[in-house]
Amino acid sequence: MTLNLRIWRQKDSHAEGAIESYELPGVSSDMSFLEMLDILNEQLIGKGEEPVSFDHDCREGVCGSCGAMVNGQVHGPDTETTLCQLHMRRFKDGDTLQVEPWRSAAFPVLKDLVVDRSSFDRIQQAGGYVSVATGSPPDANSVPIPKDDAEAAFDYAECIGCGGCVAACPNGAAMLFTAAKVAHLKKLPQGQPERERRVLSMVDTMDKEGFGACTNHYECTAACPKGVPIDAIATMNREYLRATFFSKEGV
Amino acid sequence: MSSQFKLDSACPSGPIESRWDNHRFEMKQVNPANKRKFKILVVGTGLAGGSAAATLAELGYNVTSLCIQDSPRRAHSIAAQGGINAAKNYPNDGDSIYRLFYDTVKGGDFRARESNVYRLAQVSNNIIDQANAQGVPFAREYGGHLANRSFGGAQVSRTFYARGATGQQLLLGAYSAMNRQIHAGKIDMRTRREMLDLVTIDGVARGVICRNLITGELERYAADAVLLCTGGYGNVFYLSTNAKASNVTASWRAHKRGALFANPCFTQIHPTCIPVSGDHQSKLTLMSESLRNDGRIWTPKERDDGRPGDQVPEDERDYYLERRYPAFGNLVPRDVASRAAKERCDSGYGVGNSKQAVYLDFKDAIARDGEDAVRAKYGNLFHMYEKITDENPYQRPMRIFPAVHYTMGGLWVDYNLQSTIPGLFVLGEANFSDHGANRLGASALMQGLSDGYFVIPATVCGHLAGANLQPVTTSHEAFAAVEHEVREKTDKLLSIGGSRSVDSFHRELGLTMWDKCGMARSESGLREAVDKIRGIRESFWGDVRVLGESENLNQSLEKAGRVADFLEFAETFAVDALHRSESCGGHFREESQTEEGEALRDDENFCYAAAWEFQGVGNDSTLHKEDLSFDYVKLAQRSYK
């Protein structure tokens, strides 16, 4: 099939960007979306034009590197699918696809479709861990954890940190991302000792990084390639409120 | 470097059960107050690098961590699916440290170092405890205790898992441990940095030169010890299950500075991957070995049977692994399962359009346990399969074919994980020591975390306390000299202005490697490969087209540097495969097989690790041999029948 691509091109973080149009013939329906971009880049290199930059790595939906808005939709039209797992059989000959980077004040564009998501790391650094030094923790079976709790914890822990939730949210909120870690550790006994300081510190950092607040649009969970459940946000709000009462260290 | 030096594995002697304890006791120590005076550079943030950086920072060392991705959480360990082995014996099925050790040495076809493998089995249980304490959501039974499943090459259930995303969860555990240290100011984390060379001073590793992938600036980092945790080189085949940025550059450039490269030809071809669909293919996707717990592998009994898999009646199916290997059945080790699939396809029994595939069928498991039970165990894998192939694996058998997955070879290291360059340590897939000629499933996660959490924290102090290191800063002339060489190489790549893209050379190299250095290798094929690799390398340097600038994010330039190194490395790979005229593990020489087509080792002539010393591009490398002795697991023909 032949596609009409409209792709955001931006030289670096200081430059003005613009949409450029490209016609791309020879797209096979078995290709992944990123393989389609590979073919475009081969075509551009052939013409002496600089190829389109985009983050990608594992190409099997788990590293969280890739992501773009495709016709205004996070990771394209399929549910629970990263951009690398979106396949061209979803489109037809003659389609026009507009491809843009995540748009968020907290994710500055570095080049073309590549954005800076280091704010996500800083939120995790603020408290997304259990403080356990390497050494001799107790035997892993010493504290039984109900199967359902472990499964629920996994559902939150599965977040790949792609940033799609922020891009989907009209407020540019990182609530689902932050809440996924809070809810994961809240579900497990290992997470209890630092329960209050974790949520206070992570939410504080999230706000400082310039992410918006949640006003219950649920766009984040609809866009999430791993289907992280929306109730994580309710859990985080409850945990936050609780911590403001119970924290011995203050807010 | 003299080419006459003797490889000293520094393995302790004595009973194997007490070697690690004795070794740690004899190791020189750095007292707690002095640890902060030492700077350790950790390159890579996968399971090995992430766990090492976090643990060393906890101990008080001054750690700088570098990663190529935009976040340490994205290292390729994230993609490991099936599980991690440990000798907990929770299922009470007769497992023990000794059995895990035994299975791993045998699984590696007797080309690994016994002392290292025993240590790996010893610390395996601590890894599970550590990850559990971090909040890794391992699968559990209804009673709340940890669940296990079975993997290839073992007759016990010792594999711990978190659905089909065990690597992700373990890596996020290590990442969280790093985050705690980053927050505390004990790890200086630098993302989007690619190590482009090693700096040695007086023969000792003292730092690296990196490219900042956003600004293009070359940066210097000085340290008292450098840890390479930079993964494997499977992408020399272009198509592999590796992430796109996985590369050999850090290892290769350390090799060119004097670190020996061991067993480069030992490559793991994983039996269950989604088959290639066309020329556009950019990578291959693994379907976890855990699927072989419940899936049955078969081909039709008739050649060129054109019927869809679900329409072939039971008595017209050949469950060839169960037929050939009744004791292990579908859970034979990866090398054995891969060769068996190739044999079926080469003989005309392959399925699908390309005929380069066999079936992995869940019909019986679904009939026995129900679709929901199968979905609960493997849902994410089935989802991924359907996304890629547009076929529903609950209704039709999966089509699978072997693909390059893991590399057992790597930089040579001694028992302390130190390379032949003092102060340069190599961890995880980047080193060579624990898996021999074939890695068992669920052992890579174990090894990466063993190296990072438990081995390096104990061994790095031997170097720091014993080497009488003088303070070094990045203004030392050695840094300027190496940076100059790196800059010249970058400038050259940008100035060639040829007609072909970097990817086109990489694909060409990959085809040659798969064809001549893949699942079956022969003397004539390997000689041809060496010639072809040289030819591709020559045309690369004459005709590659790299657009853009060096002072900006430039993904073509990044790829060009990596492919240039693959083109040098590939020759050493082929030469190693050529010299080892025996078959062992994943290295199958057509000239050396049993009557039944199994790999035939030659212990008399090849019971050693082959460590190659660089002598210049295009020149013959010098071979050094580390003889391997098997005092506990007796050398025997591997049998899974």
Report pTM: 0.97
Are A151 and A237 members of one domain? yes
User: Quick one: pLDDT band at residue B6, thresholds 50, 70, 90?
Assistant: confident
Total domain count, chain A: 2
User: What average pLDDT does the segment B175-185 reach?
Assistant: 98
Distance from CA of B445 to the nearest CA of A (A): 16
Looking at 3.90.870.10, 3.40.50.150, 3.40.50.2300, 3.90.700.10, the CATH number of the domain B270-405 comes to: 3.90.700.10
Amino acid (1-letter code) at residue B596? E
Inspect the interface and report whether the beta carbons of B128 and A140 lie closer than 8 Å: yes
Of A76, A110, A144, the residue that ends a domain is A110
Residue of B69, B141, B180, B450 best to disrupt the A interface, most CBs of A under 10 A: B180
Are A91 and A206 members of one domain? no
Nearest CA in chain A to B381: A60
Closest-CA residue to B229 (of B39, B77, B440)? B77
- Over the stretch B86-138, which tens digit does the pLDDT of each residue have? 999 999 999 999 999 999 999 999 999 999 999 999 999 999 999 999 999 99
The neighbour count for residue B524, using CB atoms within 10 Å, is 10
Are A71 and A138 members of one domain? no
Interface membership of A178 toward B (CB under 8 Å): no
Of A60, A92, A110, the residue that ends a domain is A110
User: What average pLDDT does the segment B615-628 reach?
Assistant: 96
Q: What dotted CATH number matches B477-627?
A: 1.20.58.100
Residue B589, φ and ψ in degrees, nearest 5: -95, 125
- What would the two tokens of residue B141 be? 């039974």
- How many residue pairs bridge chain A and chain B with CB atoms within 8 Å of each other? 213
A contacts of B504 (beta carbons < 8 Å): 42
Look over chain B and give the mean of its residue pLDDT values, rounded to a whole number.
96
CATH at residue A64: 3.10.20.30
User: Quick one: pLDDT band at residue B82, thresholds 50, 70, 90?
Assistant: confident
The neighbour count for residue A11, using CB atoms within 10 Å, is 16
Closest-CA residue to B42 (of B303, B209, B229, B195)? B229
Residue A86, φ and ψ in degrees, nearest 5: -75, 130
pLDDT higher than threshold 90 for residue B73: yes
Nearest CA in chain B to A109: B214
pLDDT at B58: 97
Angle between helices B555-579 and B477-495 (to 10 degrees): 100
CB within 8 A of B88, min separation 6: which ones? A140, A141, B95, B125, B128, B146, B148, B158, B160
Are A26 and A73 members of one domain? yes
Q: For residue A12, what are the domain limits?
A: 3-110
ipTM given for this complex: 0.98
User: What average pLDDT does the segment B574-590 reach?
Assistant: 97
Interface membership of A110 toward B (CB under 8 Å): yes
Inspect the interface and report whether the beta carbons of A121 and B179 lie closer than 8 Å: yes
pLDDT higher than threshold 80 for residue B148: yes
Distance (Å, rounded) from C-alpha B465 to C-alpha B473?
19
pLDDT at A251: 54
pLDDT at B376: 86
Interface membership of A37 toward B (CB under 8 Å): no
B contacts of A89 (beta carbons < 8 Å): 390
- Answer whether residue A205 is part of any domain: yes
- What would the two tokens of residue B333 be? 């080790």
- What would the two tokens of residue B171 be? 């890596």
A contacts of B71 (beta carbons < 8 Å): 64, 117-118, 120-121, 161
pLDDT at B289: 87
- Over the stretch B427-475, which tens digit does the pLDDT of each residue have? 999 999 899 999 999 999 999 999 999 999 999 999 999 989 999 999 9
Is residue B73 a contact partner of residue B50, using CB atoms and an 8 Å limit? no
A contacts of B145 (beta carbons < 8 Å): 141, 144
Distance (Å, rounded) from C-alpha B331 to C-alpha B150?
8
User: What average pLDDT does the segment B160-189 reach?
Assistant: 97
Inspect the interface and report whether the beta carbons of B169 and A114 lie closer than 8 Å: no
Of A78, A110, A142, the residue that ends a domain is A110
- Per-residue CA distances from A40 to A5, A25, A45 (Å): 9, 9, 9
pLDDT at B1: 43
Q: Could you give the residue numbers annotated as active site of B?
A: 334
The full DSSP string for B489-507 is HHHHHHH---SB-HHHHHH
- Over the stretch B307-316, which tens digit does the pLDDT of each residue have? 999 999 999 9
Is residue B243 a contact partner of residue A58, using CB atoms and an 8 Å limit? yes
CB nearest to B278's CB, from A28, A34, A184: A28
CB nearest to B555's CB, from A53, A124, A190: A53
Residue B221 β-bridge partners: B208
Distance from CA of B15 to the nearest CA of A (A): 24
Nearest CA in chain B to A36: B280
Inspect the interface and report whether the beta carbons of B132 and A140 lie closer than 8 Å: yes
pLDDT higher than threshold 50 for residue B2: no
User: Quick one: pLDDT band at residue A250, thresholds 50, 70, 90?
Assistant: low
Amino acid (1-letter code) at residue A196? E
User: What average pLDDT does the segment B223-251 reach?
Assistant: 98
